[in-house]
Structure 1
Amino acid sequence: MDSPITIRLGARARQRIASDGLQAADIALIPAAAGGPKGLILHGIDCWLFGDWLKQAPRERRLVGASIGAWRMAASAFADPLAAHRRLAYHYIHQTYPAKVDAAYVSRNCRALLDNVLDGRGLEMLANPHYLLTVLAIRGTGALAQTGGSRWRETAGFLRAAAGNFVSRNKLAGLMDRVVFHNARDDAAWLRAEFDAFPSHFVGLDAANLQDALLASGSIPLVLQAVRDIAGAPPGNYWDGGLIDYHLHLPYQRDPGLVLYPHFSDYIVPGWLDKSLPWRRARDAALENVILVSPSPAFQARLPNGRQPDRKDFQHYGQDHAARIRDWSQAVGESERMAEALARWVEKPDLKQTATF
């Protein structure tokens, strides 16, 4: 039977696993991509990783995410990660919207979703001795700094950003900064040395900014409102971290440990605006210590509609909320098979079953 997962290895990860096998203690960092409902397909792996395997070898680990990835990693850092992941999956799946909706309504809905996930105990995740959470967002500069809540100005600014990004990703750096909201116990040194063209700001997470940082990280332009003036961060408009760091093409090679990356895709796209630009896919030394685990084509073909949940499903199903909830719930149930396959593989890694970057 075809495996439900595909595994890709960087050169250093392959060499280390070939020599020493794979133990939970080897995993130093776990990234989580932006991607909206696609993140649901990783629910089974998230529950197994944080509820079982990594608990066998407690150590300090960095959890870094953007958008839904940040929400997944936040859930992972709770004292009871299984309960937190179940809350996240349930409330994400059960979002409903009227036929006509504005950005303010969606922002209120998403803030309420986060309220349910955090469950009044959000500071638990910052006190966890084993996990250091990092939440990525962007801060608008230039034309995106002065939108004043105007949809027209916001649209014009992001059209300019898309045009510049098509020419060069570096041009995007003139319109947005990366903002790294990190656990105050973590100096985030691995991200401080320059690795791309984007100016970066580093802000410690605390009670005053945790929810705003998480909401900003998932605030899709024109779909949600910008989150303004987050406590402890430079003043301005904050949006979805996936605009710069869609699949989190970060300098992982700076960590001597291994990076376990459960992902909804078998390749890494640097920014959201790079999705339609296949020549931008990452294939560099940053991935040398990465283990990328993703759903296989055979697995995806068995899902409702023959694909993963997607943000376009809100339009596809329209007001038939029950059908969307049913199909997304089925996809989450199927994700258990991915977790089972990964558990078997880490127990006895078969490098013949893997590909390279």
Structure 2
Amino acid sequence: MVAIHNNAPALTLRAGTDAIAHLREYGLRAGDVDIVPGAAGGPKALGINGLDQAVFGDFLPRAPRRRTLIGASIGSWRFAAIAMGQDPAKGLARLAELYTCQRFPKGITSREVSHRCAAMLSDLLQDRDQHILHNQNYRLVIVVIRSRGLMARSGGLGLGLGLAGLIGTNFFSRQATGLFMERGLVYPDGSPLPVGPLNDFTTHHISLGAENLRAALLASAAIPMVLDGVTGLPGAPDGVYRDGGMLDYHLDLPYQSRGIVLYPHFTDRVIPGWFDKPLRWRNGDPKRLRRLLLVSPSREYLASLPHGKLPDRTDFKHYLGDDAGREAYWRKAVGESQRLGDEFLELVESGKLMDRIQPL
């Protein structure tokens, strides 16, 4: 689909203090980007597919180097699609189409949703697991949580009570949610991760290999009550592993970048945990994000889309019984997102990027 261009800015750009200083002196150079986060957000990823294709299919390949991709939930799937072959844009397009074609009838069980997502992952990766594990340019980090207490229940009332306790606890103290979940970072052995000490929550560092790649990707997207958790993640402490976005929704981590942390994102706000979404006072730590450049759709761009928003999980309910209508809407959003990528590349090449950057 050909994107519709207009004069309104399609992108919002925000940056941390050190990133602003770096960009003011050097501009945005592909070789300076060493970390890319990928947030949880389900179908919202389709709404920035064109931006992802521009970043990974055009901009970053101009200066190949070892980069760390840290993804939670759909963020980890985006990065797997990027790292699985020689053509990141093709992998991203395939992920968008596979996700768009998923159909979930009313009353479907979490077990059946899990089976369908596993089949989708198999269709996406095919036999390219080793490409991901041994990619010379991209080192994948998959973010999961290890469930504690009632959050480790398989479903029903027990898990529901665990979620209620987690939500209530989080309102008063994000740190206290460690009673319900622990962080898991699944990545290949080798050099240390480019993040500072993670003292906020118990964190497990888990070796990523062929035996647990797919299980880790499924765990990272396992929304409680929607998908089943993954039990017995190979190489990890015993437990039930679920969606990493519950704890690290927008990956507010202490990045240790020597250049720029480039963040193609769904929104211009960094929200620490999934349950922090309605808590407007709880945002990312500026000290952790001082080298971050966040690139997201502008309000004007969102207003131009059908329903005035990016695709999201509520669309399954809104279009219940009309899968063809939802699929058409999502494909239009994917097509329109080429505007995001076009504008990003134009800002980089014109040298006008600094004119648009706001403080984070």
Return the letter of the residue paired with 2:213.
Answer: L
**Structure 2 counterpart of 1:354:** 357
Secondary structure (helix, strand or coil) at the match of 2:103 reads coil
Task: Describe the superposition over 1:128-161 as per-residue Cα deviations: whole angstroms up to 9, x where unpaired.
Answer: 111110000001112323x2x2421111111111
**Structure 1 counterpart of 2:276:** 274
Q: Output the aligned Cα RMSD.
A: 1.2
1:299, distance to aligned residue in structure 2 (A): 0.7
Secondary structure (helix, strand or coil) at the match of 1:318 reads coil
Cα contact 1:33–1:65 (8 A) shared by 2: yes
- The separation in 2 between residues aligned to 1:330 and 1:186, in whole angstroms, is 41
- The separation in 2 between residues aligned to 1:276 and 1:295, in whole angstroms, is 20
Q: Which runs of 5+ in 2 are unaligned?
A: 1-6
**Structure 2 counterpart of 1:89:** 96
1:110 has 2:117 as partner:
yes
- Candidates 304, 314, 325, aligned match of 1:302: 304
1:283, distance to aligned residue in structure 2 (A): 4.4
Q: Which runs of 5+ in 1 are unaligned?
A: none
- The separation in 2 between residues aligned to 1:195 and 1:295, in whole angstroms, is 32
**Structure 2 counterpart of 1:174:** 179
**Structure 1 counterpart of 2:80:** 74
Length-normalised TM-score, structure 2: 0.95
- Candidates 313, 338, 341, aligned match of 1:339: 341
For the structure 1 residues 244 and 351, does the alpha-carbon distance in structure 2 shift closer, same or farther, using more than 3 Å as the test?
Answer: same
Cα contact 1:301–1:307 (8 A) shared by 2: yes
**Runs of 4+ residues over 3 Å off in structure 1:** none
Number of aligned positions between the proteins: 352
**Structure 2 counterpart of 1:155:** 160
1:319 has 2:324 as partner:
no
Return the letter of the residue paired with 2:336.
Answer: E
1:188, distance to aligned residue in structure 2 (A): 2.0
Cα contact 1:258–1:291 (8 A) shared by 2: yes
**Structure 2 counterpart of 1:41:** 47
Length-normalised TM-score, structure 1: 0.96
Secondary structure (helix, strand or coil) at the match of 1:139 reads strand
Return the letter of the residue paired with 2:15.
Answer: L
- The separation in 1 between residues aligned to 2:284 and 2:252, in whole angstroms, is 7
- The separation in 1 between residues aligned to 2:57 and 2:357, in whole angstroms, is 25
**Structure 2 counterpart of 1:220:** 223
**Structure 1 counterpart of 2:250:** 247
1:186, distance to aligned residue in structure 2 (A): 4.0
**Structure 1 counterpart of 2:32:** 26
Cα contact 1:22–1:349 (8 A) shared by 2: no
**Structure 2 counterpart of 1:199:** 202
Secondary structure (helix, strand or coil) at the match of 2:288 reads helix
Cα contact 1:7–1:293 (8 A) shared by 2: yes
1:238 has 2:241 as partner:
yes
Secondary structure (helix, strand or coil) at the match of 1:71 reads helix
Percentage identity across paired residues of the two chains: 41
- Candidates 86, 105, 129, aligned match of 1:122: 129
**Structure 2 counterpart of 1:136:** 143
Cα contact 1:195–1:251 (8 A) shared by 2: no
- The separation in 2 between residues aligned to 1:352 and 1:54, in whole angstroms, is 22
